Chains A and B, each alone.
Chain A
Amino acid sequence: MTVTIPDTAADMDTAQSGQTEVARLSLAKAINAGLREAMTRHPKAVIMGEDVGQLGGVFRVTDGLLDSFGPERVIDTPLAEAGIVGTAIGLAMRGYLPICEIQFDGFVYPALDQIVSQLAKLHSRSGGRLTLPVVIRVPYGGGIGAVEHHSESPEALFAHTPGLRVVTPSTPQDGYWMIQQAVEATDPILFLEPKARYWDSADVRLGDRDAALPLGKAAVVAPGRDITLVAYGPSVRVGLEAAELARGEGVSVEVIDLRSVSPIDFDAIEESVRRTGRLVVVHEAPVFFGAGAEIAARISQRCFYNLEAPVLRVGGFHMPYPPARREADYLPDVDRVIGALAQALSY
């Protein structure tokens, strides 16, 4: 099959493997490549946000797209998040496929009314007559030593809102596929990008979209027998590192990358927990009312007779995200994950 290699991929280390082009890409570049494909395939797709055009986004995720698709389709908007999402709703009603960028997690809140009360509800309110295929990309999560409002994990707010889908890739491959799937999906989607992983590189199979998992499905990223660890976004790498360490201690950890926080692939988690009998959930967001709480509740119900231990959660604390020089204490690290694994195994 023929594959369009992104312009920005000039520096990519590419190699043919079978019918698919493989390139070594960072997560940021992989999402960029996926956006390029989506923009090429869908003439009605438009990218809109602060600094997404000339600058290519503060993380360069939209780098080069203005040159390729022009200012009609890659739009440097006024500095107004409610405006970005609100006008995206109107554009979607005119048949466009808006791909909004909110510059940082902490700046999505000015758009909250448009997202929660408008975007999420219009499909239902219109009796299904309106579909709102709006994607809202948000770099999220901590670990980059940033000032306040630049490290938050607001996924639970959105997952708690009926009508919104919430997905988050943790690898370049998923970034490349999932952004394309998100653009093509007909429901509004919060597309949360773990900014601490933007620079992590891996081989990405370009093209080959049929190989992609469906958007709402979780993936087992490390098979194991003794205990299940569910993570997503920035926490997947922490989970994998903890699993590796545990393996050294003779404990076999199955790591599941959730990939989607709404819906949650409970079937995948259930299948795993029925085998392992133990579950630890890891995320950066505060655990109180977080995704882990929902997973714990549902899995306790579904797997009550299989569970050997209570479902444990590792995550952020009930405090404003701390300043950069304290974030290492706040973020779930390998030590805290290992501690939870050990605790779950002690029952």
Chain B
Amino acid sequence: MVDMGGSQPVGTAGAVDLPETALQFLSPDGQVRSAGPYSPYVESLTTDDLRSLYRDMVLTRKFDAEATALQRQGELGLWVPSIGQEAAQVGSAHGLKPQDFAFPGYRDHGVLASRGVDLVQTFAHTRGVDHGGWDPREHNCHLYTLVVGAQTLHATGYAIGIVKDHACATGDPTKDEAVIVYFGDGATSEGDLNEALVFAGVNQAPLVFFCQNNQYAISEPTSRQSRVPLFHRGAGFGIPGVQVDGNDVLACYAVTAAALDAARAGMGPTFIEAFTYRLGAHTTSDDPTRYRDSHDAESWKALDPIARLRLYLTLSDHADQNFFDEVDVEGAALAARAREAVRKLEAPPLDSFFDLAYNEPHPLVAEEHAEWTAFETARLELMGAGR
């Protein structure tokens, strides 16, 4: 159980200006403050729950660091770092139940970790051997979507399907289903996202729009996307908005869990803005020194989401050094497995991509496939003869 230390003044950390509207239940100095209407969610977190949040965040961080290194070594074509956003991703995803469905963006490794997707499977995509990587139905977690904002409509449609199936608001919370969709600050400008808000609002879809405002869309600061705070975006669509401190895992968890509960109960969608920071580059191809001051990242490091939870776990005796060591060992093992596994990932032959183009036979594909096979056979024979 989380012990509520009572209301505390908002802690100021470094030079970061966290908006006053952002809900913060765990301050950077490791103190839990009153969560108001969200208190039941914070208070119900058991020691195991808290440890599980910590574990998923650390595993995500370690995996992300390893993947960044593997990209540098040429094992991956690209990596999209999640560093700094672990609380937003892990906290929110812990509000999901097994029957719920998550639609991630492309940076949401912490969401996958929380859904039980083996993070190593993301390498298929970034190593360039497969466009997918995991079975979306196995963990009720969709594939990554690279086209910014497109997944918000898919999530909305899925959630409308839940309404049609009478699979929410049944009166049995263990059966009710809900959906969460992840996207960034930049994505809020896309037409797809705005249409998703329209459809979700009109249909009272059981859906949580989870926006990680990490302050940048590649080089463009959020001010290029919006004149108003992003959590105000839902209002015009009839969708309530909440802003949370995206580096506070307890706030991310509690606010999302509450919104998902409301969705499951048939009360419609919620828009959550997690105010956070992209500590790393946009991707490994990006050079942030061209557009932002490295001091910003330094001051945001003072708000590190993992250090904050760890401090609280220690101060409140929910965990000790042994536990932290165990998690570190587990993280190191995950990194080692990632190193091992990545080198073994090979692209299937082109044949399988001919086969995958359609579900049913397609004469044109068959013809091109046969031509290609004949050509490849001849090429291989020539290479053999050349020897």
Q: Are A51 and B220 in contact (CB under 8 A)?
A: yes
Query: A329 contacts the other chain (Cβ, under 8 Å)?
Result: yes
Q: Scoring B residues 344 to 361 as 1 if CB is less than 8 Å from chain A, else 0, what string do you get?
A: 001111100110110000
Smallest CB separation, A343 vs chain B (Å): 10
Report yes or no: B128 in contact with A79, Cβ–Cβ below 8 A: no
In the complex, chain B residues whose CB is within 8 Å of the CB of A323: 124-125, 128-131, 347
* Alpha-carbon separation in the docked complex, A320 to B357 (Å): 7
Q: Which residues of B contact A55 (CB under 8 A)?
A: 218-219, 290-291
Shortest distance between the CB of A67 and any CB in chain B (Å): 12
Q: Are A79 and B191 in contact (CB under 8 A)?
A: no
Closest Cβ of chain B: how far from A314's Cβ, in Å? 10
User: Given A107-B147, A317-B372, A324-B77, is A80 in contact with B189 using a C-beta cutoff of 8 Å?
Assistant: yes
Q: Check if B285 is an interface residue, CB within 8 A of chain A.
A: yes
Indicate the member of A109, A322, A329, A330 with the most B CB atoms within 10 Å: A322
> Is the CB–CB distance between B190 and A110 below 8 Å?
yes
How far apart sit A83 and B147, CA to CA, in the bound complex (Å)?
15
Closest to A78 in B: B189
Contact residues in B for A82 (Cβ distance below 8 Å): 191
| Complex Cα spacing A80 to B285, Å | 21
Chain B: CB-nearest residue to A324: B128
Interface assignment of B235: CB less than 8 Å from any CB of chain A: no
Is B353 a contact partner of A79 (Cβ separation < 8 A)?
A: no
Give complex CA distance A304, B220 in Å.
55
Q: Which residues of B contact A78 (CB under 8 A)?
A: 186, 189, 224-225
B379: CB under 8 A from chain A?
yes
Distance between A211 CB and nearest chain B CB, rounded to angstroms: 35
Q: Does B191 contact A80, Cβ atoms closer than 8 Å?
A: yes
The reply to whether B375 and A147 form a contact with Cβ atoms under 8 Å apart is: no
Q: How far is the CB of B142 from chain A (nearest CB, A)?
A: 15
Q: How far is the CB of B320 from chain A (nearest CB, A)?
A: 42
Within the complex, what minimum Cβ distance (angstroms) separates A312 from chain B? Answer: 11
Contacts A58-B285, A322-B350, A323-B131 known; A79 to B148 CB distance under 8 Å? Answer: yes
Chain A residues lying within 8 Å of B354, measured Cβ to Cβ, are 317, 319
B-contact 0/1 string along A48-80, CB 8 Å cutoff: 001100111010000000000000000011111
Instruction: State the CA gap A78–B375 with chains docked (Å).
Output: 46
Contacts A76-B224, A110-B192, A318-B364 given; indicate if A326 touches B186 (C-beta within 8 A).
no
Q: Whole-angstrom distance between the alpha carbons of A106 and B290 in the complex?
A: 25
- Cβ–Cβ contact B128 & A145, under 8 A: yes
B384 to chain A minimum Cβ distance, whole angstroms, is 14
Q: Complex Cα distance A327/B364, Å?
A: 20
| Contact B131 A79, beta carbon cutoff 8 Å | no
Selected contact of A319 from candidates B219, B225, B346, B357, CB within 8 Å: B357
User: In the complex, what's the smallest C-beta–C-beta distance from B385 to chain A, in angstroms?
Assistant: 14
Considering the complex, which residues of chain B in the window 161-206 have a beta carbon less than 8 Å from any beta carbon of chain A?
186-187, 189-192
B308 within 8 Å of A (CB atoms): no
A208 within 8 A of B: no
Q: How far is the CA of A319 from the CA of B348 in the complex (A)?
A: 14
A325 in complex: contacting residue of B346, B356, B376, B378, CB < 8 Å:
B346
> Is the CB–CB distance between B219 and A147 below 8 Å?
no
Say how far A61's CB is from chain B's closest CB, in angstroms. 14
B218 touches A147 (CB 8 A): no
How long is the Cα–Cα vector from A110 to B194 in the complex, in angstroms? 13
A-B contact count (CB 8 A): 123
8 Å CB interface, B257-311 against A: 285-286, 290-291
Whole-angstrom CA separation of A319 from B368 in the bound complex: 10
Given known A-B contacts A80-B191, A145-B77, A147-B78, A51 and B131 have beta carbons under 8 A apart: no
B127 interface residue (CB < 8 Å to A): yes
Complex: A339 Cα to B372 Cα, angstroms: 11
Identify which of residues 142-190 in chain A touch chain B, using a CB-to-CB cut-off of 8 Å. 145-149
Q: What range describes how many residues of A lie at the interface?
A: 35 or more
Closest to A317 in B: B368
Does chain A have a CB within 8 A of B365? Answer: yes
Q: Does B315 interact with chain A (Cβ within 8 Å)? A: no
Is B342 engaged at the interface, CB distance under 8 Å to the other chain?
Answer: no
Q: Give residues 114-139 of B contacting A (CB, 8 Å).
A: 124-131
Report whether B224 and A318 are in contact in the complex, using a CB–CB cutoff of 8 Å: no
Q: Is the CB–CB distance between B375 and A339 below 8 Å?
A: yes
Expressed in whole angstroms, the Cα–Cα distance for A326 and B356 within the complex equals: 14
A146 pairs with B78, CB closer than 8 A: yes
A195 to B354, CA, bound (A): 25
Q: Which residues of A contact B290 (CB under 8 A)?
A: 54-56
- When distances are taken between beta carbons in the complex, the residues of chain B under 8 Å from A123 are none
- A246-300 contacts to B, CB under 8 A, are 288
Tell me which residues from 316 to 347 in chain A have a Cβ below 8 Å from any Cβ of chain B: 317-320, 322-327, 329-330, 335-336, 339
A residues near B375, Cβ cutoff 8 Å: 336, 339
Q: With contacts A54-B290, A76-B220, A80-B190 known, is A147 near B126, CB below 8 A?
A: yes
Q: Output the least CB separation between A333 and chain B (Å).
A: 10
Name which of B187, B191, B348 has the most chain A CB atoms within 10 A of its CB. B191
- Interface: B217 (CB within 8 A): yes
Chain B residues lying within 8 Å of A319, measured Cβ to Cβ, are 353-354, 356-357, 365
Which residues from chain B contact A79 at a C-beta distance below 8 Å? 148, 186-187, 189-190, 217, 220, 225
Binding site for B on A (CB under 8 A): 50-51, 54-56, 58, 76-83, 106-107, 109-110, 145-149, 288, 317-320, 322-327, 329-330, 335-336, 339
Interface residues of B (CB under 8 A from A): 77-78, 124-131, 146-148, 186-187, 189-192, 217-220, 224-225, 285-286, 290-291, 346-350, 353-354, 356-357, 362, 364-365, 368-369, 372, 375-376, 378-379
8 A-B pairs with C-beta separation under 8 A: A110-B191, A145-B128, A147-B146, A317-B350, A319-B356, A320-B357, A325-B346, A339-B378
Known: A80-B191, A106-B147. 12 other contacts (CB 8 A): A55-B219, A77-B224, A78-B225, A79-B148, A146-B77, A146-B78, A319-B353, A319-B356, A325-B127, A325-B347, A329-B376, A330-B350
